[in-house]
Amino acid sequence: MDFHYDVAIVGAGPVGGYLATKMRERGHSVLIIEEHDEIGRPFQCAGLVNPDAMSKVSLEQTVLTPIWGARIHGPSGTPVEIGNPKRTRTWSVCRKKFDEAIVRRAVEEGSDIWLSSTPEDVEIGIGSALLKVRRGDVTVNVQCRIVCGCDGAHSWVRKKFRMGRPKEMMVGFQVEVTGYPGKEGVLDMYTGSDIAPGFFAWAIPSGSTTRVGMWSRPDLLEGESCEGLINRLIEDSIWAERFSDCRIVGKFGGPVPSGILKKTVGQRVAVFGDAAGSCKPTTGGGIGPGFEQVDLLVPELSRAIIEGDFSEENTKRISKILDPMRRKHSKAKALRDAFVTESSDEELDEIFSVWSRREVIEIINEYGEIDNPIPLGIRLLKEVPEFRKVAGKATKAIIWG
């Protein structure tokens, strides 16, 4: 049996669902292929959606807690409290409801969806791609103008089309707990090489529970497991007392791919979201950048579909549309490396002792954006002399990167 579509999207995560809607809005026929039998499972996310991404989908009904502030803790415990209750900085959502609503909208707009289905092979022909899809017990042929990989960190599409690898593959692990004595609307961030080497741990209010997690890079873990590090934060860190009444009600973990592929568009193929390595190097957030990538590429991909132009020259040109986003991410990574990843605990404590000064908190509150740390980084480097010595490398990256 043969099926014909303009766009075949592999993966019904938030980015696949958003892409499907955007392609339908341009009049293309769309098929979404999802390996699981339901949307939004398994769940691997802290559930933070920034205001910019939220404004693209207007899914405020999926919000569990609006987040206006953060308490950031240095390795020795120095807390820095930032934020203002009058300004929501990010939203803590129910990811299952969020993903379901995005995919439902794509279907309401006219996309078809096949659950419990996976691609098995693909051939590029003249004028189309032929995707062989395992659908339940049978294999069917799907002929399409373009195959879009929105199939997450270990993307089948990315591997099949040999599109390279994201620069960094971080790992994250999280437990959902009851009984955490957090502050309403405020998330906690914890640093220290014994709980999140090179990165940080978090406690994020999410309605009646709190998501407590950490992320790091495998080469920094020195054989320890992420689960072991979370257990240490909860049971044996200087903050352990805070977790004494907590009861774990869920556990999940997964990869966080960052460092956008050099080429995300090829002959009759494009990859998006985690498949393309779009997670932010500073926070691990992947939903906002995935949406941004869709918005940037869909107009030109739609034109390529209509004109049938998937020439090397055209796909290279379309891929380059992401260059400013790539540059923004690599500058943010340079800042992260200088301030956090490459700092020892002693250096981090020094940074926190400066951060906790009132005038510095004022700068952070004015210029700090969860999404875009560069303006804050520049401001801190300009106005706080102590930062210049720890951030020499970042300064170079910001100015020349």
Ligand X SMILES: Cc1cc2nc3c(=O)[nH]c(=O)nc-3n(C[C@H](O)[C@H](O)[C@H](O)COP(=O)(O)OP(=O)(O)OC[C@H]3O[C@@H](n4cnc5c(N)ncnc54)[C@H](O)[C@@H]3O)c2cc1C
Residues that bind ligand X (CB under 6 A): 10-16, 33-36, 44-48, 118-119, 150-152, 156, 172, 174, 213, 253-254, 256, 273-274, 279, 284-288, 290
For 118, the 3-state DSSP assignment is: strand
Cβ at position 310, least distance to ligand X in Å: 22
Nearer to ligand X, 234 or 390 (CB): 234
- Residue 18 near residue 290, CB atoms below 8 Å: yes
Cβ at position 157, least distance to ligand X in Å: 8
- Residue 120 near residue 133, CB atoms below 8 Å: yes
* Single-letter amino acid, residue 126: I
Nearer to ligand X, 228 or 392 (CB): 228
Q: Which residue, among 315, 235, 331, has the nearest Cα to 267 in the 3D structure?
A: 315
Cβ at position 12, least distance to ligand X in Å: 5
Nearer to ligand X, 285 or 373 (CB): 285
- First-to-last alpha carbon distance for the chain, in angstroms, is 51
Nearer to ligand X, 328 or 381 (CB): 328
Nearer to ligand X, 40 or 338 (CB): 40
Q: Which residue, among 48, 49, 60, has the nearest Cα to 189 in the 3D structure?
A: 48
Q: Is 78 left (phi over 0), alpha (psi -120 to 50) or beta?
A: beta
- Residue 187 near residue 202, CB atoms below 8 Å: yes
Backbone dihedral angles phi then psi of residue 281, each to the nearest 5 degrees: -70, -20
For 393, the 3-state DSSP assignment is: helix
Q: Spell out the residues 6+ positions from residue 300 whose beta carbon is closer than 8 angstroms to its own.
A: 317, 318, 321
Nearer to ligand X, 214 or 364 (CB): 214
Cβ at position 221, least distance to ligand X in Å: 15
Cβ at position 153, least distance to ligand X in Å: 6
Cβ at position 347, least distance to ligand X in Å: 26
